[in-house]
Structure 1
Amino acid sequence: MSDTHLVLHDPNGLIEAELPLDRAPHEALVTAVLAWNDPDLAPRDYEQIALQLTGHAHAVAADVRRLAAALPKSDGRGALAEIVLREADGRLSTPLKGTAHCVQNRARLVQALYGRLDRLAEPAPAAT
C-alpha cells in the first residue's frame, strides 16, 4: 500500500453544503457557556472552547450565506441575513482571548447565526 492521499478541490463548498451541522452538541455548549457565572478555567481551556465555537460559527455562517443567496432579491430575509453575516465576519476576525468574556461572545454569535438560519429555513411569508 502506498502513502498517497487525495486532495479535494471544492472552491464552492458544495461538499460541505451536503453535510448537516452537528447542531445539538453545539447548542448545548452555547447554553452552558451563556449560563456561566464567574467560571474559573485556565486560559488554555477558554481558548479551546472559543476555537470550537469559532469553527462552528464559520460553518453556520456558510449555511446562512447559502440560504440567503438562494432567496429572491425581494425577500427581506436576505437583507437581514447580510447584516447578521457582516456582524459575524467582524466578530470572527477578532483574535481569540483566553477569557470567559471572549467565549461568551462567540457563544452569542453562534446563537445569533442559528436564529438567522432558522428564519431563512422557514417558508417565505405570504405577500399581503
Structure 2
Amino acid sequence: MTDTRVVLYDPHGLIEAELPLDRAPHEALVTAVLSWKNPDLAPRDYEQIALQLTGHARAVAAAVRRHAATLPKSDGRGALAEIVLREANGRLSAPLEGTARCAQNRARLVQALYTRLDRLTEPTPAAQ
C-alpha cells in the first residue's frame, strides 16, 4: 500500500478566502475557556482546545489580512490591523502547552482578532 499526499499550492489564499469562518461555535468556545476559574482537565484536553483555537486564530488572522489589504494606505484601520497581526504571529509561534493558561491565551487571541476583523468590516462613518 502506498501513501499518497496532495500538496495544496495556494499562495494567494484563494481557497481559504472562499471558506466562511465558523464564528458562532468558536466564539462559544472562547467564552467557555475564558470563564474557567479552576479547571481540572487533562493536559491533552487543554492541548486539543488550544489547537482548535490556534487553527481558528490562523483563519481569522487570514481574514483580517485580506480585509486590511483592501484598505487605502491612509486608512488607520490597516495600520492597527498590522499591529494586531504582528502580535498574533508572535503568539501563534509559541509552542502549545497542556495548560489552562495556554488555552486561555489562544482564546484571548481569537477574541482580539475578531474585534479587529469587525472593525475592518464595519462601514466607515461619512466624512463631515
Q: State the TM-score bracket (shorter-chain normalisation).
A: over 0.9
Deviation, structure 1 residue 52: 0.2
**What is the CA RMSD across the aligned residues, in angstroms?**
1.5
Q: In the alignment, which residue of structure 1 is the partner of 2:72?
A: 72
Cα deviation for residue 13 of structure 1 reads: 0.6
SS class of match (2:96): coil
SS in 2 for 1:74: coil
Gaps of 5+ in 1: none
1:15 equivalent to 2:15? Answer yes
Cα distance in 2 for residues equivalent to 1:37 and 1:44: 19
Counterpart-to-counterpart distance in 2, 1:6 and 1:97: 30
Q: What runs of 5+ residues in structure 2 fail to find an aligned partner?
A: none
- Which residue pairs with 1:59 in the alignment? 59
Q: Secondary structure at the match of 1:98?
A: coil
CA–CA distance in structure 2, aligned partners of residues 65 and 17 of structure 1: 11
Alpha-carbon offset, residue 20 of structure 1 = 0.5
Q: Which residue of 2 aligns with 1:95?
A: 95
Matched residues, number: 126
Separation of aligned partners in 2, 1:114 and 1:7: 29
2-structure distance, mates of 1:41, 1:6: 36
Q: Aligned pair in 2 of structure 1 residues 116, 38: CA closer, same or farther (>3 Å)?
A: same
2:5 and 2:84 mapped to 1: Cα distance? 38
In the alignment, which residue of structure 2 is the partner of 1:118?
118
Cα distance in structure 2, aligned partners of 1:69 and 1:79: 10
- The Cα shift of 1:6 comes to 6.3
Runs of 4+ in structure 1 off by over 6 angstroms are: none
Cα distance in 2, alignment partners of residues 39 and 81 from structure 1: 33
- CA separation in 1, counterparts of 2:64 and 2:94? 20
Q: What is the aligned partner in structure 2 of residue 37 from structure 1?
A: 37
Q: How many Å separate the matches in 1 of 2:22 and 2:6?
A: 25
CA distance in 2, matches of 1:80, 1:111: 15
Please report the TM-score for the alignment, with normalisation by the length of structure 2.
0.93
User: How much does 1:126 deviate?
Assistant: 2.6
Percent of pairs with identical residues? 84
